[in-house]
Amino acid sequence: MDIIISNASDQPIYEQIARQIQSQIVRGDLEEGALLPSIRRLAKDLQVSVITTSRAYEELARDGFINMVAGKGCYVAAQNEALLQERRLKMVEDSLAKGVETARNMGMPLDELITLVEVLYREE
C-alpha cells in the first residue's frame, strides 16, 4: 500500500491518508477483505501521530470503505459497485465544486468555465 504524505500541504495529514487509501480502494488496488496495517503500525511506518492514523481510519470506516474488527484489525469492506460508482462521482464532484466556487467568485461566465474544463480534460 503506497501512501505519501506531504507536510507542506494544507490538507490535514489524516485527510491525506484517508483520501489515498480511499482512492486505492475505489480504483480496485486494494481488494475487498484485504487487511490494512494496524493504526499504530501505520503511524510508526509513516512517522506520524497515532491519533492521525486513528482519525484517518475512522473516516474511512464512517464512509463505509473499511471495517474495523475489534481484536483483529481493519479490513477493506465489501464495496457495492453502485455505491462505488456513486463515490467516484462524489470525488469528482468535490474537486469540481472548489473550482466552480472560485470561478463564480471571480465572476467567470459559465461557458468560459466549461471551455476551461474541456481544455484541461484534453490536456492529459
Partner 1 sequence: MQDVLKVEGLTKQYEDFMLDGISFSLPPGYIMGFIGANGAGKTTTIKLIMNLIKKDAGTIEVMGMDNIREERSVKDKIGFVYDNAGFYEELSMEQMKNIISRYYTRWDETAYKRYLKRLGLKKNKKIGDLSKGMRMKYALAMALSHHAELLLMDEPTSGLDPVIRAELLGVLQEVIEEGDCSVFFSTHITSDLDKVADYVVMIHDGEMIFNDAKDRLLEHYRLVKGTQGHLSNLGGQRLIGTDRLPHGFSALVADGRAAAKAAGEGLVLERPTLEDMMLYHVRDAAGRLV
Binding site residues, partner 1, CB under 8 A: 7, 10, 12-14, 38, 40-41, 43-44, 47-52, 55
Q: Give min distance, CB of 68 to partner 1, in A.
A: 15
Q: How far apart are CA 18 and CA 3, in angstroms?
A: 10
- Contact between 91 and 24 under an 8 Å Cβ cutoff? The reply is no
The single-letter code of the amino acid at 9 is S
Nearest residue to 26 (alpha-carbon basis) of 73, 71, 60: 60
3-class SS at 40?
A: helix
CB nearer to partner 1: pick between 49 and 85: 49
Q: Give min distance, CB of 50 to partner 1, in A.
A: 5
Q: Give min distance, CB of 43 to partner 1, in A.
A: 7
CB nearer to partner 1: pick between 13 and 76: 13
CB nearer to partner 1: pick between 43 and 77: 43
What are the start-end ranges of the E strands in 1-124?
35-36, 66-69, 73-76
- The DSSP secondary-structure symbol of 8 reads S
CB nearer to partner 1: pick between 2 and 10: 10
Q: Give min distance, CB of 13 to partner 1, in A.
A: 7
